[in-house]
Amino acid sequence: MNLSRPDRAEALAAEYVLGTLRGRARARFERALDTDRALGDAVRSWEERLLPLAEALTPVAPPDRVWRAIQARLQTARTPATSFWSSMSVWRGLALASLAVVVVLATLLLRPTAERGEGAVIAVLATKDAKASLVASADRFGRYLTIKAIERIDVPADRSLQLWMLPAGGNPQSLGVIETTTLARVALSAPADQALRNIPALAVSLEPRGGSPTGLPTGPVLYSGPVQRTY
């Protein structure tokens, strides 16, 4: 492809935009576009000339699933800061009514050790649409948190679920990667009532296998919920 002659470059740019430049010639032209600024300008001029013609087409509304698929694709690619805190606002908006349901549910699912009368710390983690999915619980003076999946959760082989404490006004702190196929346990740095004292909520995010490489959530928050105390 000889692009050194301006008239040739111009003609190829026109056919590129029209769509008749095809096959390997198109691929070669695109590679040349990456480095050749004049060629890029020629393409842009042709786009401005030809593409407005497309406005004559009668619009056709795409099916809703296209937008849903776009959103799903972006969920997994989003940057930590925005995705995390925007997801967090979701559980804050949960109605009190659903919270009540959730606490009852949590009590039912509590492991027997938590019923010794000394009190427990419980968090029911729900999806964005308020579907309770995981229960995290600990004895008030226990040194570990038990996590139980309410229903089967399938995690892709190259991903892990990671549990986080969400301190009021601070960065999320990792409690570790959790398995959902069995009862998961994560160790706490202190008895639960102390370790979770200033933690209003817990959340689980989808991370690369083995957990977030950055120490902060990088993937979408799948589940979150407020920390409740029964003492």
Partner 1 sequence: MALDPGKQLERNARLKELLARTALSDQKAFAELYRLTSAHLYAVALRILREAPAAEEALQESFVNVWHHARSYVAAKSQPLTWLTSIVRNRCLDQLRRREVATVTLDDEEEGLDVATEDPTPLDMLLLGADARAVGACVEALEASQKQAIALAFFQGLSHGELARHLRQPLGTVKSWIRRGLERLRTCLDAAGAGR
The answer to whether 158 contacts partner 1 (rule: CB under 8 A) is no
Q: % helix / strand / coil in the chain, to the nearest 5?
A: 40, 25, 35
Is 52 a binding residue for partner 1 by CB under 8 A? The answer is yes
The least distance separating partner 1 from the CB of residue 230, rounded to whole angstroms, comes to: 37
65 touches partner 1 by CB under 8 A: yes
- Compute φ and ψ for 166, nearest 5 degrees: -115, 90
- Rounded to 5 degrees, φ, ψ at 145 are -110, 130
CA dihedral 111, 117, 119, 121 (to 10 degrees): 10
Neighbours of 108 (CB within 10 A): 8
Q: Lay out the site mask for partner 1 across 6-25 (x = CB under 8 A, - = otherwise).
A: -----x--xx-xxxx-xx--
Interface residue with partner 1, options 35, 56, 97, 231 (CB under 8 A): 56
User: Rule CB under 8 A: which of 73-102 touch partner 1?
Assistant: 73-74, 77-79, 82, 86
User: Of the candidates 2, 4, 37, 57, which one interacts with partner 1 according to CB under 8 A?
Assistant: 57
Nearest distance in Å: CB 35, partner 1: 16
Binding flag, residue 113, partner 1 (CB under 8 A): no
User: Can you tell me the distance from the alpha carbon of 145 to that of 225, in angstroms, rounded to the nearest whole number?
Assistant: 15
Q: How far is the CB of 207 from partner 1 (least distance, A)?
A: 20
Q: Please choose, out of 39-47, 100-108, 131-139, 145-153, the segment that lies near partner 1 by the rule CB under 8 A.
A: 39-47
1 interacts with partner 1 by CB under 8 A: no
Which residue, 32 or 109, has its beta carbon nearer to partner 1? 32
Amino acid at 172: P
Closer residue to partner 1 (CB): 6 or 67: 67
**How far apart, in Å, are the Cα atoms of 20 and each of 3, 12, 14, 48, 103?**
17, 9, 9, 17, 63
The torsion angle over the Cα atoms of residues 156, 158, 161 and 165, rounded to 10 degrees, is -150
Using the rule CB under 8 A, is 213 a contact of partner 1?
A: no
Long-range contacts of 127-133 (CB under 8 A, 24+ apart): 127/222, 127/223, 128/87, 128/90, 130/94, 130/98, 132/101, 132/102, 132/105, 132/225, 133/222, 133/223
Shortest Å, Cβ 63 to partner 1: 7
**Interface with partner 1 by CB under 8 A: which residues?**
11, 14-15, 17-20, 22-23, 26-27, 44-63, 65-67, 69-70, 73-74, 77-79, 82, 86
